[in-house]
Structure 1
Amino acid sequence: MKKLWVVVVLVCFVVTALSLSTVYAQDKKVFTFNGQSRMPSGNVFFESLVRACKRAEAASGGRLVFKVHPAGAIYAATKELDGVHRGVLDFADTCYMYYRDRWPAAPIFTAKPGGMSPMEALAWVIEGGGHELILEMLKGYNVKIINGAGQMAPPEIFLTTNKLLNTVADLKGLRIRSAGDGAAILNRLGAACTLLPVGEVFEAMHRGVIDAYEVASPAVNWTMGLQEAGKYIYLSPVRHPYEWNPFFFNKKKWEELTEDLKNIIEAAWREEAYFYYARAIMADIDALEKFRKAGIQVLPLPKEIEDAFLKEADAYYAEQAKQDPFTAKVLESYNKFKETFRSIWPRP
């Protein structure tokens, strides 16, 4: 009987040891992921994704390794969603507005002309129903969208041009690199907009392929060397009052992770949304001064153009809502949140 008891104890010990070693091995497994930014290396958006990934790596104790590649290095620039969906990329950042040809409502999730402030828009995404609508839009795609993970950016430059803008008539025939609903509205005002990868803007301006462009905020444009591409910078938040760029994962890769690693990535990537916003504001102030010193004229957008743009934006969205039920649903949620928030706390 005593021998049997000893055998039982030894068996239990071995089973427990094996179980613990298995758990330990799982805990120490290293996950390596290859991803891509929508921006070239050195760009502040690229560095933001790198920073968020390094934060997750540090918190994981070496169990996470993220390899971040610049736009186009692995998959076509502006098509990062497809790269992640197909498993060519494990993770990425992107702009929803790049996919306007599939979902007319997509640009609203990036930035709505004449829309909310950056923090209002982020609150709508995280808690106001925006995230659920994004998931509905991307149904069927093999991607994991982490609510609140990404980059919230301040307002963009309205346009950088080689031509002075005084009236709406000055937009007619102007060849502009632009994206999203802002491009659609500029087209309605007589411009000729086209979408180019941001890395091609400099050469396109120098070769005279385009007359003007919008890329992003002052700091982003400066890091891309665009102080030598355009004579005039026009500032106004009406076209792009903020910019929300999500970080997302291949769903299959995400499901391979342990729960603690998922929590680490979620926390690290969500933190970047706020950190990037604060840092970008200060960087934009500094960049605008650099542009001025470089000889670029920094000007307010003429009110005539600003008013015409906002009026055309209202007409554009009214038409879009009639043509596409999902766009109508997104606009209803967006506008209701904006109206409710501002009825309680009116803007000064």
Structure 2
Amino acid sequence: MIRQLAIAGLAFFASLVASAHAGDAKVIHVASTFPLSLKLFSEATGRLSEQVDSLTGGEVQLVFHVPGNLAPASSTVDRVATGELAAAWSTAGQFATHDSAFELLSSIPFGPDTMEFMAWFMEGGGLTLSRELFASHGIHNVPCMVLPPEGAGWFSKEIRNVDDLKGLRIRFFGLGGRVLARLGADVVKMAPSDILAALKNGEIEAAEYSLPSMDLTLGLQSVSKYYYFPGWHQPSTLYELYFSEAAWHSMTEKQQQTIETVCAAVMTDAIGRAEIMQSEALEEIKKRGIKLRRWSPELLLTFEATWGKVADEEMAANPHFKQIYESYVRFRDQYGFWKRFSYLH
């Protein structure tokens, strides 16, 4: 059973890691940053809940809550860090107000595709650096899902050159937002559930969110005329479970290993499912009269050059950012030798 509690006014729990019955089952309430109605998120959290319950014989139960039940979407990871919440389902970039290096652990502009990201993160040093950084804030992170390139945004007008971005009020996430802001856009941070209304009432003029299948479910095609690709800002995006150190260490080693193993299985499943869903979503979006556009080569070069400047400045200002970005660049240089000789493109 997918344990997603969406009842408004849910009383605050005396303890978010509690006894499930008179026995010793452990219930861990997980606050989600993202709408659990979106297909890939609902499937991932449902499988996490079901399989952790099954493989631990009911000893550990993950109960996922929609944004706003336990915490606003924007503060789920913050509240895990303070110990107010036991766990969150989110992405590292949501914790970037504490350290910009966390943004690199979500996604890297003009960076790796899904397989390259996973190679760097799981085997090339990314996970070790990630765990060290999260541990300094009292959080244990478990990678659970990685998704392919996002759409690059929904716009009411065509974007032909940099001047078309100047003053444009746009909802955009992460380091890509820093790039657009540098180019003159008015970048706004906003929870997914607020995007559609903000586009309808003119609070924002454009927005990016996620994959075509998720954007379609949010209804962004109902208010925008143009949908841009490729998603240079997020060629791949990592999603994780975040546990407070107290919640994580309240479990046995076997229970911890079970969560890690189930997350790995969910990640593998999501890679295939996410890829196969997007063509159908794009066909549906085209039927709605939306015009699909690719960024011009000139704009992509501008985005990439501006990203280079943002990265250089951030490395100079933040040693954690520098450490993580240089780890990835070293990996890419090494990986690129293999990729150039072994892949067709």
Provide TM-score, normalisation by structure 1: 0.87
- 1:32 paired to 2:19: no
Q: Distance in 2 between matches of 1:156 and 1:213?
A: 12
Q: Distance in 2 between matches of 1:337 and 1:128?
A: 7
Q: CA deviation at 1:165?
A: 1.3
Residue from 50, 54, 57 that aligns with 2:53: 57
Q: Distance in 2 between matches of 1:313 and 1:236?
A: 15
Provide the identity percentage.
26
Residue from 122, 134, 137 that aligns with 1:138: 134
Q: Distance in 2 between matches of 1:253 and 1:325?
A: 29
CA contact (8 A) 1:163 1:211 kept: no
Q: Distance in 1 between matches of 2:147 and 2:251?
A: 29
Structure 1: runs of 5+ lacking an equivalent: 1-27
CA contact (8 A) 1:83 1:89 kept: yes
Q: CA deviation at 1:284?
A: 1.5
Find the counterpart in structure 2 of residue 270 from structure 1: 264
Q: Distance in 2 between matches of 1:255 and 1:331?
A: 30
Find the counterpart in structure 2 of residue 238 from structure 1: 232
Judge which range, 38-47 or 225-234, deviates more. 38-47
Matches within 5 A, 1:275-290: 275-290=269-284
Give the paired residue count.
319
Matches within 5 A, 1:1-348: 29-47=24-42, 48-146=44-142, 149-346=143-340, 348=345
Q: CA deviation at 1:89?
A: 2.5
Q: Distance in 1 between matches of 2:100 and 2:331?
A: 20
CA contact (8 A) 1:150 1:269 kept: yes
Deviations 1:75-109 (A, max 9, x none): 12122212222333222221222232221222111
Deviations 1:272-310 (A, max 9, x none): 112112111111221111111122111212222111101
Q: CA deviation at 1:125?
A: 1.2
Judge which range, 259-268 or 171-180, deviates more. 259-268
Q: Distance in 1 between matches of 2:107 and 2:321?
A: 14
Q: CA deviation at 1:236?
A: 0.7
Judge which range, 254-263 or 332-341, deviates more. 254-263
2:73 alignment partner, SS class: coil
Q: CA deviation at 1:208?
A: 0.5
- What is the one-letter code of the residue matched to 1:207? N
1:138 alignment partner, SS class: helix
Q: Distance in 1 between matches of 2:287 and 2:322?
A: 45
CA contact (8 A) 2:170 2:204 kept: yes
Judge which range, 289-298 or 203-212, deviates more. 289-298
CA contact (8 A) 1:93 1:150 kept: no
Deviations 1:179-199 (A, max 9, x none): 211000001111110100111
Spell out structure 1 runs of 4+ moving beyond 3 A. none
Q: Distance in 1 between matches of 2:36 and 2:219?
A: 13
Q: Distance in 1 between matches of 2:131 and 2:277?
A: 32
CA contact (8 A) 2:151 2:230 kept: yes
Q: Distance in 2 between matches of 1:46 and 1:242?
A: 15
2:105 alignment partner, SS class: helix
Aligned Cα root-mean-square deviation (Å):
1.6
Q: Distance in 2 between matches of 1:309 and 1:84?
A: 34
CA contact (8 A) 1:39 1:45 kept: no
Judge which range, 266-275 or 209-218, deviates more. 266-275
Q: Distance in 2 between matches of 1:30 and 1:136?
A: 30
Provide TM-score, normalisation by structure 2: 0.88
Q: Distance in 1 between matches of 2:290 and 2:296?
A: 17
Q: CA deviation at 1:67?
A: 1.3
Q: Distance in 2 between matches of 1:273 and 1:132?
A: 18
> Whose helix fraction is larger, Structure 1's or Structure 2's?
1
